[in-house]
A = this chain, B = another copy of it.
Amino acid sequence: MDSRIEHHARIIVEWSIEIKPGDMVTIATSPAGHDLAVAVTKEVAKAGGRPITMMLSEEIDKAKFDGASEEVLELFPKHQMAIVENSDAFVFIRSPVNTRALASVDPKKVMLERKTIREIVNLRLQKRWVLTVHPCLSLAQQANMSLEEYQDFVYRATLLDWKKESKNMYLIKEHLEKHKDIRFVGPETDLWASTEGRIWLASDAKHNLPSGEVFTAPVETAVEGKIYFDIPFLQQGRVLEGVRLTFEKGEVVDYSAEKEEGTLKEILETDEGARRLGEMAIGTNRGITQYTLNMLFDEKIGDTIHCALGNAYKDNNGTNESAVHVDMIKTMIEGEITAGDEVIYSKGKFFYENE
């Protein structure tokens, strides 16, 4: 086994889901993530856990949507629920066999399926779980890279000293929580938001691997100013670029996009909550230095911030509600992040890096 795959598996089992003797573990992978599932299985067994493996596949999902009536999509999959009820920890290896297999599925069917399995997902979220990727052809293709380049990219982002990363992220969180607001200043950007009563969380590879962000849900009625997101992102199969937003009392009052402005408009018109921010965050993973149109990586790029239009996380004490949650990213290497009267980050350095 490639030593990087083994290293990845050890981080998953020892750091992310902390397997202990007697744990029932469910690994879910597509055929494209098979080799990481092999390595994770070995590490789980070594740690005293009992692993089983589920098959993920966008092509299988597509076949289900094609074959199923609404009645079938509303049928509660009690065997799927039983797996979650009887597992202590989950590893999701999201390495698609085909990132675009579901492109033609009726969104109504997808929504119906989501509603049917909501209870299963919610129960799973209460347990130990981690979402990761094994470098595969479909993701390399989406990232405009050869497989070898993509492997290097994934492992540079993933095989970090997460104890050290975590320590830094908790330091940022601690400082942010001393204050009641946050401000992002940079090229074409000056955005302020109240964070009063909200919780900052550190994403330190317990649920996402790679990880590396400190995030909160701003007060959705107290966001003011404008922001320019320079990093392209994928939404509904389309690549949006150069999004500019202006906020008043939390609401988007002006917007534009250099590419796919129509899609941006559709997003903003989804519902009332889609015109307000559900998330504001700071990316801290300096192992990631370029975007690849995969949000698991892009939102963690070092020296960036990101904001999401739409639904807020309850764990942040967020209250904004929406059917969408659309992350958009901005490079901050020339910018500054302040909270209250404290400079959290300025031009490539966090406060603790100046000491």
| A→B interface (CB under 8 Å) | 21-22, 24, 26, 29, 31, 34, 37-39, 41-46, 48-55, 57, 59-60, 62-64, 66-69, 71-72, 75-83, 85-87, 97
Q: What are 27 A-B pairs at a CB distance below 8 A?
A: A21-B71, A21-B72, A24-B77, A31-B34, A34-B57, A34-B59, A34-B97, A38-B60, A38-B62, A38-B63, A39-B63, A42-B63, A42-B64, A43-B67, A45-B63, A45-B66, A46-B67, A48-B69, A49-B72, A50-B75, A50-B76, A50-B79, A52-B80, A53-B57, A53-B60, A54-B54, A79-B86
Given the complex, which residues of B lie within 8 Å of A44, measured CB to CB?
A: 67
Given the complex, which residues of B lie within 8 Å of A68, measured CB to CB?
A: 45-46
Give A292 to B116 CA distance when docked, in angstroms: 45
Name the residue in A21, A53, A71, A97 with the highest tally of chain B Cβ atoms < 10 Å from its Cβ: A53
Give A340 to B310 CA distance when docked, in angstroms: 80
Give A81 to B86 CA distance when docked, in angstroms: 9
A54 & B55 in contact (Cβ 8 Å cutoff): yes
A57 & B37 in contact (Cβ 8 Å cutoff): yes
Give A43 to B85 CA distance when docked, in angstroms: 28
Given the complex, which residues of B lie within 8 Å of A66, measured CB to CB?
A: 42, 45
Name the residue in A46, A51, A79, A97 with the highest tally of chain B Cβ atoms < 10 Å from its Cβ: A79
Given the complex, which residues of B lie within 8 Å of A50, measured CB to CB?
A: 72, 75-77, 79
Given the complex, which residues of B lie within 8 Å of A57, measured CB to CB?
A: 34, 37-38, 53
Give A220 to B64 CA distance when docked, in angstroms: 48
B67 & A55 in contact (Cβ 8 Å cutoff): no
Q: A41-B64, A53-B55, A64-B41 are in contact. Are A75 and B29 (CB under 8 A)?
A: no
A72 & B97 in contact (Cβ 8 Å cutoff): no
B86 & A63 in contact (Cβ 8 Å cutoff): no
Give A43 to B64 CA distance when docked, in angstroms: 9
Assuming A41-B67, A48-B75, A79-B83, what are 11 further A-B pairs, CB within 8 angstroms?
A39-B63, A42-B63, A42-B66, A43-B67, A48-B69, A49-B72, A52-B77, A78-B86, A82-B82, A82-B85, A82-B86
Question: Closest residue to A39 on the B side, CB-wise?
Answer: B63
Give A49 to B72 CA distance when docked, in angstroms: 7
Given the complex, which residues of B lie within 8 Å of A43, measured CB to CB?
A: 67
Question: Closest residue to A24 on the B side, CB-wise?
Answer: B79
B31 & A45 in contact (Cβ 8 Å cutoff): no
Question: When A and B form their complex, which 5 residue pairs have the shortest distance between CB atoms, in order from nearest?
Answer: A45-B67, A31-B31, A82-B82, A42-B67, A45-B68
A38 & B59 in contact (Cβ 8 Å cutoff): yes
Give A48 to B60 CA distance when docked, in angstroms: 16
Given the complex, which residues of B lie within 8 Å of A34, measured CB to CB?
A: 31, 55, 57, 59-60, 97
Give A46 to B71 CA distance when docked, in angstroms: 11
Smallest distance from the beta carbon of A157 to chain B beta carbons, Å?
Answer: 24
A72 & B52 in contact (Cβ 8 Å cutoff): no
